Structure 1
Amino acid sequence: MQRKIKLLWDFRGPDAKETAKHHTIHLKEFAAIEDLIYHEVDIQELNPMLCTAFITVDEADMKTYRDALKPHRGELS
């Protein structure tokens, strides 16, 4: 069974939620252009001034996403 990795980008400030939502559009576009598989793309609102956009991918594809998109951090999902 393949492990899943969640790659995350943090956005801060009064527009954090809208910026994170917009970032998810680009994550989906990248996956479509590169013909890559992902499990989930979404946001998490941690508080009104901090929101995270994320994409969950198979560990085998993680390096492709990581090298091209430069996430702020990653975690096992």
Structure 2
Amino acid sequence: MFVVDRPKVLELFIYTRDKCEVGDEYKKILYFFPNEKSLDDKLNSIGLSEAIATFTNSFNSPCTSIRTKNTKRLFKSLTP
């Protein structure tokens, strides 16, 4: 018999794409779970999501998900 792990939410965040001054990138974060993560880890996760969104915007449709060997990231833009 084998056990199947249920999916877990490791991160959930909402950020704004508004431009920030250098050193004020933390102001982009509107919500982040888990809150205990370091600011650097939060900014790295948001930066990766921003980079993926920017890169995929040049294609026909925006990216809604990316699956890797260990994770799946889902994306939802709340602005047109």
TM normalised by structure 2 equals 0.31
Which protein is richer in strand relative to its size? 1
- State the structure with bigger RCO (CA 8 A, min sep 6), 1 or 2: 1
Higher radius of gyration, 1 or 2: 2
Which protein is richer in helix relative to its size? 1
